[in-house]
Amino acid sequence: SAPRMETQEVSLSCTLLHLFIAFPLTLFHCPPLGLESLRVKDPQLRASSYKRRGLGPHRGRLNIQSGIEDGDIYDGAWCAQYEDKKQWLEVDARRPTRFTGVILQGRSSIWSWDFILTYKVQFSNDTLVWQPAMNGTKEAVFEGNQDTETPVLALFNESATVARYIRINPQSWYENGTICLRAEVLGCTLPDPNNIYAWQQTEQGTKDKLDFRHHNYKEMRKLMKSVTEACPDITHIYSIGKSHMGLKMYVMEISDHPGKHELGEPEFRYVAGMHGNEALGRELLLNLMQYICQEYKLGNQRIVRLVKETRIHLLPSMNPDGYEMAFKKGSELAGWALGRYSYQGIDMNHNFADLNKVMWDAIEFDFQNNDKSKLINHYIPIPEYYTAEDAFVALETRAVINWMQNIPFVLSANLHGGELVVTYPFDRTEDWAPHDDTPTPDNSFFRWLATVYASTNQVMSNPDRRPCHNENFQRYNNIINGANWHTVQGSMNDFSYLHTNCFDVTVELSCDKFPHASELPIEWENNKESLLIYMEQVHRGLKGVIRDKDTEAGIADAIIKVDDIDHHIRSVADGDYWRLLNPGEYEVTVSAEGYNPSTRMCRVMYEHYPTICDFRLTKTPKQRLKEILAKGGKLPKDLQLRLRQLRLRKLRASTKAINSRLPRKRPPTSPPTAAHFSANEESCAAVGKMHSTCSKNIGKMYFSKFLV
């Protein structure tokens, strides 16, 4: 069914009757033909003339975006070569169609200001004889745009013509501009009794029984509740905070033990709706939670394994305020930007702390001062200015950051819309260039992640598809380094990589940011396999538990370093860790405060399950001594001997250094021997204090002199 939409009044010229005014789109139940979504192919679009290839009829699609430079092959509209009333843009529906309306928009350009003020519409079955849309006995003239971006809807009367072809015929245009437009056509295709190949025109869809429609806030909450009622043993709903307007940011958790972190089980998240008008990701996640619930109950082994081995978190709407604004306008009338920003006008994709600068400043400091003490490559702290109460940070962004810090996510994807490509970090260029390849130390694995999604997406992987707007990502196999596309400061992907253990990519799901509800079953089928196989990548690489060798207790905050990859991760509260890696053999070193480092070789296989690589660390003598003295206990003999040896070693070294500075005629001072320390111990034993105060004082003496 069509999404809810406000009644759109269509202003007509003075020659028109009110018959054409105020027809809600939902009354006609006719969806867009698909100029914006590219279901209408380029050969189906013709024009009376066009200025150049970049302004040809194939560019006359609603919301198509131009390139930065005028004159390239990716301009932002169809523009006629001549300025007269005989120009037209023609759409071939390829089937008998009951046309019900047209949506018009001006030219997308940062250099030009072109739009149509009024226009006529004609219909034909053969392109030879044309019938105009009529208003009584006169030809109807429809009012167009007043600016270049706002879509304007015109609906035809109830006796709309059934035809195969439709033409939009501009009658007047902005006086300082020229004839340019972007359009969408509404219509219901009808069976053609003369078509012997009708079986080939079956609409693509899906066999999955899911709720394919756009859900506003209340409907989304209702659907999520219905999933938990259907699968109470594997689902749990929680909120990570509220939007500026007080709407809760709901998350669906899916796991065989929802509500808690399980030792060794990785945490995965999908985030959608960062830009409120990019609605497809929201609906895909709602579909995904329904699908997992249904298939789990049916015993689908792939889904059962995913649920039992992974803790999944789905956030359908990071920007619920923005979505509500776009939803009220409707899928075709929200334009390119309405609802993109938060209620406060913040673009959340630029709103996370810029930790790239902190890291690159530290690298520069190290280069200039040869001081690696300032060099950090993971868990980079958030700058104080960012956490201040008056910082320009959206409530929604703060909520997501707290969520990231509270749950040890391993892998994530951020679902966007408006293009067909998967981008991976870094998203920001180092020198503020508009775009430049800026890879992370884990570039090879990020490229793998992006390829996994793009190569299994039915549209991205189609070699015959055309570019969405002004970039041909097929030449990059539909993946690209984010900064090499366009630089983004403060992205969630970069923040996630530099502040947490989590690897995050951005998936641009479709050319159409807010596809019509009729497109949702097709989009689900396009993305279903990609969504599932991407989640399964959380099990690629290494995993294990880091424990204390003596107590077997898990060690939190241990640093896991992989040789030749300058990015570390850390163990979580129970000592478990996950390190995403491509197949290969790696030298892994684990270190933790108070423990001796441990190194071992770990091999990642090609199978779709992780290699278990556990570590057991031994405490350093210093740490053992600290713990004993803190408890008021006695020193074990092995520790006493170890401290004695270390003390002697230090004394010998210091004596040698002193002697090297003294005149050669002076005999060197004899270093103390073990007998000195034995004598002290014997004195203690003589008074019966060897195992109490006296022994403790000796330990403190060793500790203070050797370990300071």
Distance CA(230)–CA(291), nearest Å, equals: 11
Distance CA(82)–CA(675), nearest Å, equals: 107
Distance CA(555)–CA(680), nearest Å, equals: 38
Residue the block writes with tokens 């334009």: 335
By the 8 A CB rule, do 502 and 496 touch?
yes
Distance CA(398)–CA(249), nearest Å, equals: 12
Give the torsion sign (CA, 561, 566, 571, 577).
negative
Give the torsion sign (CA, 242, 246, 247, 248).
positive
User: SS3 of 271, please?
Assistant: strand
Question: If we measure between CA atoms, which residue out of 21, 50, 33, 179 comes closest to residue 93?
Answer: 33
| Angle, CA 424 vertex, CA 315 and CA 361 arms, to 5° | 105
DSSP assignment letter at 57: G
Beta strands 542-548; 576-579: pairing state: antiparallel
Pick the catalytic residue from 508, 519, 523, 536.
508
The amino acid occupying position 258 is P
How distant, in Å, are the alpha carbons of 234, 302, 501, 525 from that of 307?
8, 9, 21, 21
By the 8 A CB rule, do 89 and 156 touch?
no
- The strand ranges marked E within 476-541 are 479-481, 503-508
Report the DSSP beta bridge partners of residue 547: 554, 616
Element (H, E) at 69: none
Per-residue exposure over 242-258, b if at least 16 CB sit within 10 Å of its own CB, e if not? ebbeebbbbbbbbbeeb
Distance CA(106)–CA(89), nearest Å, equals: 14
User: SS3 of 168, please?
Assistant: strand
User: SS3 of 577, please?
Assistant: strand
Can you read off the two tokens belonging to residue 439?
């890879």
CB within 8 A of 537, min separation 6: which ones? 411, 448, 449, 452, 580
How distant, in Å, are the alpha carbons of 249, 515, 518 from that of 316?
8, 16, 20
Report the DSSP beta bridge partners of residue 595: 619
Distance CA(76)–CA(125), nearest Å, equals: 29
508 is catalytic: yes
Residue 169 CA neighbour count, 13 Å, CB half: 16
Residue 9 CA neighbour count, 13 Å, CB half: 2
Provide, for the chain, the percentages of residues in helix, strand and coil under a 3-state DSSP scheme, each rounded to the nearest 5: 30, 20, 45
Question: If we measure between CA atoms, which residue out of 578, 423, 432 comes closest to residue 504?
Answer: 423
Distance CA(92)–CA(47), nearest Å, equals: 11
User: SS3 of 682, please?
Assistant: helix
By the 8 A CB rule, do 378 and 569 touch?
yes
Residue 513: count of CB within 10 angstroms of its CB = 28
Question: If we measure between CA atoms, which residue out of 331, 314, 329 comes closest to residue 278?
Answer: 331
Enzyme catalytic residues: 508
